[in-house]
Structure 1
Amino acid sequence: MTLASSPLRRLLPDAVLLFVAILWGGSYLATQDLAMASSAAAVMCARFVPSAVILLSLSLARPRTTLRESALPGILLGSLRAATIALEAIGVTLTSATNAGLIIALSILLIPILESALTRRRLSPALIGSILLALAGIALLVSGNGFVAFNLGDGLILIAAATRALLGVAEARFTMGRDADVLGLTTVEITFGAIIFAIWGGSSLMEHMPDFTATNWLVVAYLVLGCTIVAFLGQLWATKQTSASRAGMLLGTEPGWALLVGVLIAGDRIGPLGYAGAAILLFATWWGARAERRWRAEGIGSPREDSPVPENAT
């Protein structure tokens, strides 16, 4: 049995995506603490500008490196990423964390719907069931304080869920089955976002930076190295190995990890419903892995409806 066909090799993308979800789950508390010492705009600037500098240095240090081929897709991914993060950052200040966690998780459902529309393949009942079950698990996990009335913040988070779904599908389209330069794409994506967030939050960051404590700088390092560089590279690489639907469901566990971080670090409590939601989410993830592999395997070799018919076809 070769490494390429080994169970470890097949599980590696899932493990990477779960690790990314864990990193992003911890970013909520980290961003909240840093924003209290500065502003949401300053946090985005402090997160993206150093990340762009580091990735640009790594990319340009490679022999025969060119970012030209990654420019257009990277700018598109960067636009979607920046829009998603900005909408989340503003929306979460206008609504409850419970509402935000529930609504952003809708991207889990939107991604396979978009992917199914693009490939013109119907989702299997098992895959649909696992996605809905995952949403139910997330709802239980974050519903300890109840779901309050829909407001402007909820609307912004809903738009963020849509842009996150588009981002997931776009990443898959630009990487799956192609010799995509993951580092180049991520570099252009983050650099584009850095320009936007530098314009938005640069002055605020410069104003508050002299007052940052050692803890604040550790949070910045976590957001830069973990939640941006490692997470974005890992997400793009893992999505290239699997599918947008599978990646979306695994990354959709992010609210659960965010709640776990709150329980372990901030002393939050989730109660019986939260633990039930965690168990449901774990089962849905396992079920979804099996359903997604079967759905993707059944699609291999099946021509799309818009594919050209070979000239020698009868």
Structure 2
Amino acid sequence: MSDKLISSSPTPNRLKGDGILILVTLIAAVGWLFSKAALEYVPSFWFIGLRSLIAGVVLGLIVNRSLRTLTREQWIISIKTGLLFGVALLLWVQGLLHSEQVGEASFIMSLVVILIPVVGRIVYGDRISKQVLLPLAMAVGGLGLLTLGDDIQLEKSHIYLLTAAVIFALQFVMTSRHVANIPAIPLTAIQLTTVGIIGCTVAIIAALYHRETLTFDWGLHAWGWILVCALLTSLVRFSLQIYAMKFTTATNAGMILVLEPVWTTLLGVVVLNEVMQLNQWAGCALIFAAIVVFQLIRMRKWS
């Protein structure tokens, strides 16, 4: 098999990689809760800007030598993909800000996995398997169930999150196509720093537009959340994810990362006492099933 996915006795390194990725999904799920809490104290654009800037600068200092070896073209590509990353995160944080359930929001964002081949087809003309149509239809059905209420309509949070998911997919497709020869951690440092600069710039423009006084006097709680999100859910999470990928396969990692919205939903119910309606549970379940089916199709294709 080209992708060593099926094995009767997983190697210790494979188990190590899987264990780290499960930890990554838990950190990511906790990150949704932390971000929701931070938005109670910090304006959304400042939150994304400062969180990403801190993570990017710290990571950049760690891999300073590697950054200096990058070519001009590698820097340009890294910044371009960072710009897309920034736009997607600014939309994501608006969606989270207006969302009543972090679990529902995380399931909508998990659609990035299915959107990637669709975006690849639209932008680069990549061949898309007809088998992808099944999970795509299931995902659309799941979104339909999420919008059911007194009347069927997309909420503001849904629109922000869906748009963010499409741009995240575009960013992923561009990154995978153009930056195969760029070291992963220096690339991440540049992208996060770019996001930070974009977020802070948009925050300043928004403050000037609304004639608000620029202030960072949000209190210790706010800065605590910013630092925790920057260091734990950005720097540590992505560093662990990159490290774990050395010990496992892409398809296996994809199956494990599907756990993120599941943990997020459970934490939202247990920690935040969120109450989801039956149609929302059904919608999340259908989206989860769509992603699992999609991953299984990839495994079968690459085996």
TM-score between the two structures when normalised by the length of structure 2: 0.71
1:235-264 CA distance string (max 9 Å, x none): 567789766x98777656544332222122
Name the counterpart of 1:230.
Answer: 236
Query: Tell me, what secondary structure is at the counterpart of 2:34?
Result: helix
Q: Hey, what does 2:159 align to over in structure 1?
A: 155
Counterpart of 1:229 in structure 2: which amino acid? L
2:215 equivalent to 1:207: yes
Q: 2:191 aligns with which of 174, 189, 193?
A: 189
Q: Is the 8 A contact 1:111 1:248 kept in 2?
A: no
Counterpart CA distance in 2 for 1:94 and 1:275 is 19
Out of 63, 66, 71, the position equivalent to 2:69 is: 66
Which residue of the partner structure matches residue 309 of structure 1? none
> How many angstroms apart in 2 are the aligned matches of 1:262 and 1:194?
27
Please report how far the alpha carbon of residue 45 of structure 1 lies from its aligned counterpart in structure 2 after TM superposition. 2.7
Matched to 2:235, the amino acid is I
2:112 matched to 1:107?
A: yes
Q: CA deviation at 1:48?
A: 1.4
Between the aligned partners of 1:10 and 1:160, the Cα distance in structure 2 is 32
Distance 2:34 2:235 in 1: 16
**C-alpha distance 10-70 of structure 1, shift in aligned 2 (>3 A):** farther
TM-superposed CA distance for 1:72, in Å, is 1.7
Matches within 5 A, 1:135-146: none
Paired positions, count: 286
Q: 1:139-189 CA deviation, whole Å, 9 max, x = no partner?
A: 77x6797886235554333321210111221232245xx443011111111
Is 1:31 aligned to residue 35 of structure 2?
A: yes
CA contact (8 A) 1:35 1:43 kept: yes
Q: Is the 8 A contact 1:70 1:188 kept in 2?
A: no
Q: Quick one: percent identity of the two aligned structures?
A: 23
* Cα RMSD (Å): 4.2
Closer, same or farther: CA 153–276 of 1 in aligned 2, 3 Å? closer
CA distance in 1, matches of 2:74, 2:158: 34
Q: Distance in 1 between matches of 2:297 and 2:118?
A: 15
User: What TM-score comes out, normalization by structure 1 length?
Assistant: 0.69
Q: Which has the higher contact order (CA 8 A, sep 6+)?
A: 2
Cα distance between partner residues in 1 of 2:20 and 2:151: 31
Cα 1:138/1:230, change in 2 over 3 Å: farther
Deviations 1:15-59 (A, max 9, x none): 666554443333332222212112112211331121122012112
Q: Is the 8 A contact 1:168 1:248 kept in 2?
A: no
Secondary structure of residue in 2 paired with 1:207 = coil
TM-superposed CA distance for 1:122, in Å, is 3.5
**1:111 counterpart letter in structure 2:** I
1:195 CA displacement: 1.3
- Corresponding residue SS for 1:149: coil
User: Is the alpha carbon distance of 1:93 and 1:35 closer, same or farther for their aligned partners in structure 2, counting shifts above 3 Å?
Assistant: closer
Partner SS for 1:70: helix
Match for 1:219 among 225, 241, 246? 225
| Cα distance, 1:274 vs structure 2 | 6.9
Q: 1:20 to 1:167 in 2, by over 3 A?
A: farther
| CA spacing shift, 1:147–1:157, aligned 2, 3 Å | farther
Instruction: Note if contact 2:66-2:186 (Cα within 8 Å) is conserved in structure 1.
Output: no
Question: CA-to-partner distance for each residue in 1:94-152, whole Å, 9 max, x for gaps?
Answer: 56548755654443332122345647434252x54355556767877x67978862355
Structure 2 residue aligned with 1:75: 79
